[in-house]
Each structure stands twice: as C-alpha cells, then as structure tokens.
A and B are shown apart, each in its own frame.
Chain A
C-alpha cells in the first residue's frame, strides 16, 4: 500500500523510542498531549508540557486512549448495510467500493435536491476548517455542529451582546476572587486546563457560588451552594441584576463607557426583586442580597460563567444572556481577574493559518435550518441540528437526501432517539465516519472507520486565546485496521464527484504547508513541540481602546439581532409548575470518566464507570415506596422504560430526578457497553423539536418522567 492509497500507513513503525505530539481524541475538549512511541507502539500518553496550563496532566479518559487503541471492538474496515436499517446486517467493503457507493448516492441526491440536499454534522472544535471545507466543496450550506444539544444557546447569546462567541472569554483564574457557576460542572464535565486552574484558584482563596438543583462534585468544592428549582435560573438572574443595580454593585465607569441599553435593562428588572424570585427559584431573598453585598466588594474580579452545555430549557438563551450582562456590569472584561478576550494571530502582528475553506467556491443557497435568515439569532456557522431532522421529515423548506455524521452520534446526543431515527428513515443515504460503533453508525447505510487519533494526523488547528497558538495532531502509530484519516476520506469523496480542488493534497505535510504559508512557522517547528505560541506573553487591550464587533462597537443589551428576530431583549420569566406525585423533571450529567456515549465500551473506562443510579429526594421517594438502593422504573411518555437503582438523597431538588448520560447503548458489537444502564435521551420523548426559539438549543431538561418502584425480578415465591 502506498501513501496515496493510505497516507497514514507510513514509516511510523520504525524501531527505537520517540516522542510524537498529538491532541487527545477521547472527548471533544481535545487536550494537547505527547505520545511516547517505542518500536511502533504507543506506550505512554501524557499532557503536552510545552503548554504550561496543561502540564503532563491527562484525565482518566485521556489515559484510557491506550485501551481504545488496543481494542478490537471498533469498525475494522468500511461496512455497507446489507439488511434493513438498524438490523445489524453488514458486509465488509473495500475503500473503493464504499466510497464509490457513497459517491453514487450523493450524485443521486444532487440530481434530486441539488447539492444543498447533502447535510453533515460533527462536534465542532479547532479542526473545523476541514469539515466546513468538505461541505462547502460539496456545494451545500448545511454544515452543523453538535451545539443544538450543547453550547448553542450560550454561543448565540454572546453574539447577541458582545458580537462574538462566549469562547472569546477566557477566565483569568489566577486573579479571580469569585466565580459563579450555573450548573457548569467544572469538576466532573471536566476540561483538564479549566479544572486545574479552578482548583488552583480555590486553593488560593477564590470564592465559588454554585447554582444547581443537584449537588454535583463541583457543588462539593464551592463555598456557596444554591439548590435552585429546576429551570428557574433566568428568574434568579433577573433578580441578581435588579439587586446589583440597586446596591450599585457594579463598575459604573465601565458600564457608562462600554454598555448600551442600560435603560432597557433597568426597565426589565424593575420588579424582579429578590423577594419576587424566591418562590420561583427557592433561593432565600436574604441570601441573594448577601451574595450581592459580597460581590460588591470584589468587583471587577467576579465572573459569571455563562455556561457550556446550555441546551436545557426554553429560556436558557436568556440565562446565558443575563449572565453575560452581569459580566458586563462587573466590568470584568479585559482586566486581570476577569475575562481576557481571546485574540487571533493578527492581534500580535502574526498571520492566521490559511483557511482551506477559501479553496472551495462560495455557496449562496440558504441554510435548511434558517440559521442566519429566518432565525437571525442562530449563528449560521454552527446551525441547529434538530431543524435538519425537521427538514428530513417534512422536506421543508427543502428536501435532504443525504446525511453524513462525522464522529458525531445524534441518535445518542439528540433527545428522543426514535424521533431521530424516524427522520433518518427519510434520507436516502446516511453515513457514519467514526472510530467506534455509535448508535448512529449502527443505524446508517455505510460506516467508514476513521483511524484513531493516535493513528492519524489532522489538519493543523488554530486556537485564539490570550496568546493564540497553532496546534498539531501528528500521527503516532500505524493503524491497526483498514482505516483512514478524515482529510483523505473527504478528498476521496470529492474526487469521485469531480470536486477535489479544495482538498487536492497528496500528503498531510503538503496540506500543512499550505496552511502554514506566510505564517513564519514551519512543519518542523510544529513537530518540535506540538503547540506553537504566536506571542511571548499575553497582552491586554487598554480599556479605552476596546472595540466590540457589534453595530455600535459597544456591548449591546438592546440587541439588534433579537430585534431582527422579533424577539424581546428580556422576555418575562415563565414560571415553572412543580411536578408532583410520581412526576419529576429529568436532569442528566456526566461523571469525569465518561464522555457521553463514546467511552463506556472502553474496557478500562467501563471498569471504573460509576453505576448509573437515579438521584431522588427522600420526601418524594418515601410516598412512592422507594428506599435507597431500590430498583425503580422510569418512563418518559414513550414506549421506552428504564430500570435502575434509586439513590435517595436530599442533594437533589424535590422536583427533579437525576441520572448520568452515556448509558443504555444498543450496538451488539460493542459488548461492554451493550445494555448497561438507561439511555436518558430515550426518556426525552417528544423533545427533538422542542427548543429555545432565541438560542436554538434543545429544551432537554424540560423532560418530565414518571418514576415508580420496580416489581422485584427473579424472586421466587
């Protein structure tokens, strides 16, 4: 096999010991790391110490990368479906056969629907230029990331205020005095650099107010815990703003100079007093006032984390938005102990990586989900995936014939797996490109095995930040099976459609050289350390020279985007009815050893994964005859019923139950995860098309489930 046929089969098996710089692929955080390779085998993984914030640290998932590599339970060659969808009947195919098959189906889709009838999703991140280039070269506007069930609401909320994504706000944990977290579970849904900085700051006396109906492991590190009612955080924020303004606990100079629309804000929170919010949230008004009095002495070193996974309820966009406004009131932008604004290379007089997307012709078709057109507040760069499935179902505003899920598993990630499958049934072609058997892959027509992150090289990544960096995932080892890297797969599909120009590279080095053109950085530099810093030290923009990419150049409380969408700047809070009897709001979360559905089949992670239990409050469990450790049945209104043990604890709000996400897999070939636990997404019945209209994110935590004690199994009379 030559390098053109399989560019990742090359001289990586040479004898001896060497260090290869890579980027972890065990979750979508993508930590920089180094791989020790001995005689062609990866023997040691650790964080890339050239990145000081990372150091040698890796989490459990990252360390279990060696077990992924050694695992045989992953697609070993292209597979083409030979029975009905989801039947598990497959035949092995050569790459040529599988790619020809896909290309034929894509041609049919293009004939029937035009190129816009091809849709694609992945999980975003700093290699996104490749995915976007592929979709653009296909001639389709329909690239989606996973943010409909992740950060879509906070991303779009930040755009509505600051004009840029929340990713542009980097907390300076070295000097922060108080951090406020709305269920942002830093300790368990962990990003290594973030949790390291967070724990370091707590050790140095930083205060942390943690807001969540459940006491997560982050609550267990916080200095204040507010066990709020489920989905009530918008009411809390309206009252916080009211009280911050009343106590003048904000940076008046900053607000005067940089914030527009304060009159609209004052009007919106005129009546949302601490006493008003108390019945909505359950937070005592006195405690709220005390909190504001406390932060008054800490301004501007107070940050309100606007959220990460914010696909919770239909006002989640406004939770993030009001949190971002609280940051503006704190005046914490571009100041030590606040948020440092992320900068691109140009800020430091350097040049960005040359975008691959520039090589593909522009696409002028409107997006199928209306992002950026009928939904002006939804960023067209990320889309809103549930509306892709809506379009598959209805062929409105136009038909979708083909869908490619690249390392993305919407059947697990989206609510209501049955509804997702029903939509997929309408597509003529469903392709899964992944390193593992996902639920979506199992329901697709073709599975293309991507080489694991240790077996492949990616395009170079660029990360804006206080100091922007270029980052590299080099190939560490040869693939164990007949797999390929994504850039090669995309190129080969485009080649078959006569659209190869955008990705016309023979080797990854050739592609890297294109990206690095004019940057003053070489492939050799990248291979030297994996991460190349584009400035020696971070620089803050003087505060009188700030400029926000909004129409006025200021932080816009009275958002132009919301006006275009016909949405109010601050809708009134929608009070929540408390579920009673056997009904509960279903909340979900992650343990630190699992990344959604992708980890449980890893032999090492399966071993240490916690048993999935249902957190339920003793005052609600008692009347239902449920004691700690009892088996319970949970249903979400559909035919799916989950069965698991109850954890009876006062550390979950009375109105809610909680379970871990990432369990309940059904793929027979992934035997370790098969049938383990309950799939919370299958309990989110009827929620696929329920979303926050302003931010677009799914309303996952509006799911109401019924809980009952399970009939005893296997007990003879």
Chain B
C-alpha cells in the first residue's frame, strides 16, 4: 500500500460533493470521469433520528494493484518511492483493462482523451509539499492526508469523550 492515508471523517462530512469537483477541475476533466466519489445513503433511522451516511471512494492504492497487473502497456504504474498508483497518460492506449480489473471501479474513462484517469493523490501537488485538491479545499475539513500514521484521526478522541465524559454528545 501507499505510505499515505487519505482519511475521511464521516462524522464531519456533509456529502456536499465539493471534493469531486475539486478533483475534476484540478485534473481538467469534463463530465464523465470522477476519480473520487462521495456515495450518500439515507436518511435512515438510527435510534429514532434521521441519519445520512457518506462514503468517500477515491483509490485504495493497493499493494498488489490489480489495475497495474492488468495494464498491457505499462501505463498503470505504482510509484516506487511512496506506492502511489497512477497512469502515465502517454503510455495509455485506452484499452480499459484496468477498469475491468479493479474490484472497486476506481479507474475512470475520460471521453475527452479516450484514456483512463484515476486518483493519484494529486502526486504533482504531493511532490510540491501540498495536499491533494480534494483535501485542500474540502468544505468542512473532513478529509485529511499524510503519512499513514501521522494523519489526524478524530475518531478515537471523539469516542473517548462519548464514553467517559459527555454521553449526550453521541458519536
């Protein structure tokens, strides 16, 4: 796996889909491909109150990435230094093997170039010391990015507050 983590704190996510547009505009994509996606379901009844659940679906950047193995031209690569799985556009012939191979539907078809595009954690930004576009401009700050053990994780602290001190807060 990549040395990074892109964490989604669902409790502070509002499902506004800004991340999707930040991603697309940063990559110059038009309608069609969506390298990251917020999937929302609800409202559903959780203990008598309505709740909407949000899942953030970028790329897992797998250790043994099926898309990389499926790619016949070597366009889909895993970057040695940090494990980011990315497409080299110049090598992509648009065969869609990676789209077929990925169990999570991560690689996206770009009708603008007839090639594949996917979440690469905005590696050009990462290399410049910046966060991915989705994280940088997230409305509520529910997305965070960094080295896997250094990304802030509010969940434990929130749970501890709930259990120890302020059960009224909920989780």
Interface residues of A (CB under 8 A from B): 44-47, 55-60, 62-64, 66-67, 187-188, 190, 192, 195-196, 199-200, 202-203, 205, 207, 215, 217, 219-225, 592-593, 603-608, 649, 651
23 contacts between A and B (CB under 8 A): A45-B25, A46-B136, A57-B18, A57-B139, A57-B140, A57-B141, A58-B18, A58-B22, A60-B18, A67-B30, A190-B139, A195-B139, A196-B139, A199-B12, A199-B142, A200-B140, A205-B169, A220-B51, A221-B14, A223-B49, A223-B170, A604-B21, A605-B21
A/B pair count, beta carbons within 8 Å: 114
| Chain B proximity of A36: nearest CB distance (Å) | 11
Pair B16/A59 contact, Cβ less than 8 Å: yes
Chain A facing B: main interface SS: mixed
Pair A187/B17 contact, Cβ less than 8 Å: no
**Chain B residues within an 8 Å CB radius of A47:** 137
B129 at the interface (CB under 8 A from A): no
Binary flags per residue of B58-89, CB closer than 8 Å to A gives 1, else 0? 00000000000000000000000000000000
Cα(A607)–Cα(B33), bound, Å: 10
Please provide the chain B residues from 6 to 47 with a CB less than 8 Å away from any CB of chain A in the complex.
11-12, 14-18, 20-22, 24-26, 30-32, 42-43
| Chain B proximity of A269: nearest CB distance (Å) | 29
Cα(A47)–Cα(B49), bound, Å: 33
| Chain A proximity of B61: nearest CB distance (Å) | 23
Interchain CB contact (< 8 A) of B50 among A192, A225, A606: A225
Pair A592/B30 contact, Cβ less than 8 Å: no
Pair B17/A60 contact, Cβ less than 8 Å: yes
Cα(A222)–Cα(B47), bound, Å: 13
Cα(A649)–Cα(B45), bound, Å: 11
| Chain A proximity of B56: nearest CB distance (Å) | 14
B52 at the interface (CB under 8 A from A): yes
Cα(A603)–Cα(B30), bound, Å: 7
Cα(A67)–Cα(B112), bound, Å: 14
Interchain CB contact (< 8 A) of B137 among A57, A199, A222: A57
**Chain A residues within an 8 Å CB radius of B49:** 219, 222-225
Cα(A604)–Cα(B140), bound, Å: 21
Query: Nearest CB to that of A47 among chain B residues?
Result: B137
Pair A67/B169 contact, Cβ less than 8 Å: no
Interchain CB contact (< 8 A) of A604 among B11, B25, B139, B168: B25
Interchain CB contact (< 8 A) of A220 among B16, B52, B137: B52
B161 at the interface (CB under 8 A from A): yes
Cα(A67)–Cα(B169), bound, Å: 41
| Chain A proximity of B128: nearest CB distance (Å) | 12
Cα(A221)–Cα(B141), bound, Å: 16
B153 at the interface (CB under 8 A from A): no
**Chain B residues within an 8 Å CB radius of A44:** 25-26
Cα(A225)–Cα(B50), bound, Å: 8
**Chain B residues within an 8 Å CB radius of A604:** 21, 24-25, 30-31
Cα(A604)–Cα(B31), bound, Å: 6
Q: A59-B18, A63-B21, A217-B52 are in contact. List 14 more A-B contacts (CB 8 A).
A: A44-B25, A56-B137, A57-B138, A64-B25, A67-B25, A67-B30, A188-B14, A188-B16, A196-B141, A199-B140, A200-B141, A223-B170, A604-B24, A604-B30
Query: Nearest CB to that of B125 among chain A residues?
Result: A44
**Chain B residues within an 8 Å CB radius of A225:** 49-50
Pair A592/B17 contact, Cβ less than 8 Å: yes
Cα(A220)–Cα(B168), bound, Å: 16
Pair A187/B14 contact, Cβ less than 8 Å: yes
| Chain A proximity of B153: nearest CB distance (Å) | 13
Pair B21/A592 contact, Cβ less than 8 Å: no
Pair A63/B25 contact, Cβ less than 8 Å: yes
Query: Nearest CB to that of A220 among chain B residues?
Result: B52
| Chain A proximity of B30: nearest CB distance (Å) | 6
